[in-house]
Amino acid sequence: MPTYQYACTECGERLEVVQKFTDEPLTVCPACEGRLRKLFSPVGVVFKGSGFYKTDSRSTTKSGGAPASGSTSGSSAESSKPATEKSPSSTPPTPPPAPSSPPSGDGTKVA
């Protein structure tokens, strides 16, 4: 059951009450018979990081299909390498071929 905090608008008395969700909120201060107001505060749990969505912990779908987007399994060793490291290449890349002249319409070459 949740704990609710109340504060009196007349005397400033603060109290905490354990209530069910279905219970009516308190309206009368037990100390001075003044009006109570419910206090709201931030929750004590903060979820940070990955792993809180259903797609974060699964690498494939239930039907055995492709890996879910955002999956980090499998390539963690490759992604941990620094960007400055490059694998040595055995041969330099070849340049693209030079453009050739278009053939003429009668089958003869133009010189």
Query: Distance between CA 37 and CA 94 in Å, rounded?
Result: 77
Single pTM value for the model: 0.40
In a domain, 23, yes or no: yes
CATH, residue 37: 2.20.28
pLDDT in tens, the chain (111 residues): 889 999 999 999 999 999 998 999 999 999 999 999 999 988 788 777 766 666 666 566 565 545 555 445 444 444 455 555 555 556 667 777 776 666 555 656 665
Q: Where does residue 7 rank: exposed (0-12), middle (13-18), buried (19+ CB within 10 A)?
A: middle
Please provide residue 77's backbone torsions phi and psi, each rounded to the nearest 5 degrees. -70, -40
Residue 75 located in a structural domain: no
Answer yes or no: is 110 within a domain.
no
Q: Distance between CA 15 and CA 87 in Å, rounded? A: 66
- Asked if residue 38 is part of any domain, the answer here is yes
Assigned domain for 96 exists: no
Q: Give domain status of residue 52, yes or no.
A: yes
Residue 105, in any domain of the structure:
no
Q: How many domains does the chain have?
A: 1
Q: Cβ distance 31 to 13 under 8 Å?
A: yes
